[in-house]
Amino acid sequence: MSTPSAPSGLPRRALFTTAVAGAAGMVAATASTTPAAAAPATTAWALGGNSGVTSDGSNFLGPTNAGAPLIFKTYSSTGSAVSERMRIASNGNVGIGTTAPDSKLHVVTQNTAVKATTTGSTTTSRAVSATATAGTALFGQSKSGLGADLRSTSAAALQATSTNYYGVIASGPSGGVLGTSANYGVIGNGNNVGGYFSGPTGVYGSTAGATAILGANTNVDSGVGVRGTGRIGIHAQASVAGTAQALLAEGGQYSVYGSGGTTAGVRGDSAYVGVWGQGTAWGLYGAATGTSGQNYGVYGTTSSPDGYAMFAQGRVHVNGTLSKSAGSFKIDHPLDPDNKWLSHSFVESPDMMNVYNGTIVTDDAGRATVALPDYFEALNRDPRYQLTVIGDFAQVAVSREVEGNSFDIRSDRGGVKVSWQVTGIRHDSYAEAHPILVEEEKTEADRDAAGSTARRGSSAGDPRAPRGPDAEIPETKAPPAPTLP
């Protein structure tokens, strides 16, 4: 059966309506069954619009045989063939530039795939709104360019909000997030953590003049300005030698606070000073908080035989008992101070001994009284005496022992010069509470220190020194900076 032809004098709209109506009538006549929801087969879709169209879906455009898509084709020019521009697959997926759409909207093009613009002047206007009950609301992926390029001239280019997870998850071979700005490239604000970055390099910051990375927390009670986790939590490297700082921390109760380290809270390695402490009250403070066993508030060691494990420029006070393997004073040699040192060994005693000495001349009757400091008897017990005659032979003796912080000397004739020395054993409250143990058993730590014959603190390899693996310093080569689009 041929389709009836419309009179050639009718308007084009009427020609299209008549043709469609004829075609619909032919389909209705030849179809074995009619879909239950279909409108009458003779209902035509007019170019100028249709009236009486129902909202229940009984009027529709599209194929009625199962699995067939609805295809839209156009001519790009009079000299080209008709080409498909869009299709709606039988499962409802819409494809533009593809004949096999695998999502509700699948666009394939060499240019801009989707362009959304809103002209609304309110803050609630959105060019694109994406919502997901689970999974990803908006996903962008590029093999060579940008996964997503979002730009704004007045507000935020991207606003991402999550009620229980992450607002933005970004990953890429060069970087997860690239932020460039005349002010801040990336700003992170959070009630607990402003920004969290993890990976072989959690955060890489580079700048030509100001601050590569700035972390600030305005919550005075809690929160963290910058927090890094990983094999190396934070790696800071200064590209300027000699005058720059790899890491600068300011303010707070502690500008730098290190805790939780299995070997050390803070470790510093340098070709000059490992850790530099400087303060108006305390340059360096060390405290060992263990309540049993041997521990050390400050431990210093040197690998050079000419070095000093500890060097103090100025007065030193030990509020406790000082023990040492040896002791001496070392001063400029009085006869050649520019070229030589003069050293004397300390005088050692098993007692906590004080020494007092001087000279005195007996009177005509051969008597003399030696006055001692007014604290002598409060500080000393068990005084011991030595008398030496100077200038001639004579006999001298202690005629009265110490009493009232003085003692008397008598010689067998008058005018004898006598050199005297008195020693005393401390018996003040501190000495009574902390007596010197002349002989004691070595502890296990002492026995294990550098062999059985080692003296306390005499070996640079003393195993009581802090031990731990060398710090794993990452490569000094920074990751390549991402290429700006």
Specify the pLDDT at position 351: 92
Nearest to 383 by CA among 406, 417, 360: 406
Mark the ranges of the chain whose per-residue pLDDT is less than 50.
Answer: 1-38, 452, 454, 456-457, 460
19 SS3 class: helix
In sequence order, the β-bridge partners of residue 360 are: 418
Residue 44, Cα to own-chain centre: how many angstroms? 71
Specify the pLDDT at position 23: 42
Contacts of 72 (CB under 8 A, 6+ apart): 84, 85, 86, 87
- CA distance to 378, 434, 438, per residue, from 383 (Å): 12, 20, 20
Contacts of 285 (CB under 8 A, 6+ apart): 277
Write out the H or E segment, with its range, that includes residue 12. Answer: helix 12-30
- CA distance to 109, 128, 136, 364, per residue, from 168 (Å): 27, 16, 10, 105
Contacts of 369 (CB under 8 A, 6+ apart): 406, 407, 408, 409
What is the distance between the alpha carbons of residues 90 and 63, in angstroms, rounded to a whole number?
A: 9
Residue 298, Cα to own-chain centre: how many angstroms? 25
CATH topology for 353-433 is Immunoglobulin-like (2.60.40)
Q: Assess contact for 398 and 408: CB atoms under 8 A.
A: yes
> What does the CA dihedral 18, 20, 22, 25 come to, rounded to 10 degrees?
-140
What does the DSSP assignment read for 45-76?
--TT--SS--SSS-S--S--STTPPEEEEE-S
Specify the pLDDT at position 40: 65
Return the exposure string of 259-284: e unless at least 16 CB atoms fall within 10 Å of the residue's CB, then b: eeeeeeeeeeeeeeeeeeeeeeeeee
Where along the chain do the CATH 2.60.40 domains lie?
Answer: 353-433
What is the distance between the alpha carbons of residues 23 and 14, in angstroms, rounded to a whole number?
A: 14
As a 3-state breakdown, the chain gives helix, strand, coil percent values, each rounded to 5, of: 5, 15, 75
Q: Assess contact for 70 and 62: CB atoms under 8 A.
A: yes
- Cα–Cα–Cα angle for 83, 68, 4, nearest 5°? 75
Task: Give residue-wise pLDDT tens across range 74-117.
Answer: 988 878 889 999 999 999 999 999 999 999 999 999 888 888 88
Specify the pLDDT at position 406: 98
Tokens of 393: 């032979």
Classify the C-alpha dihedral 281-285-290-291 as positive or negative. negative
Radius of gyration of the chain (CA): 48
Tokens of 471: 């710090």
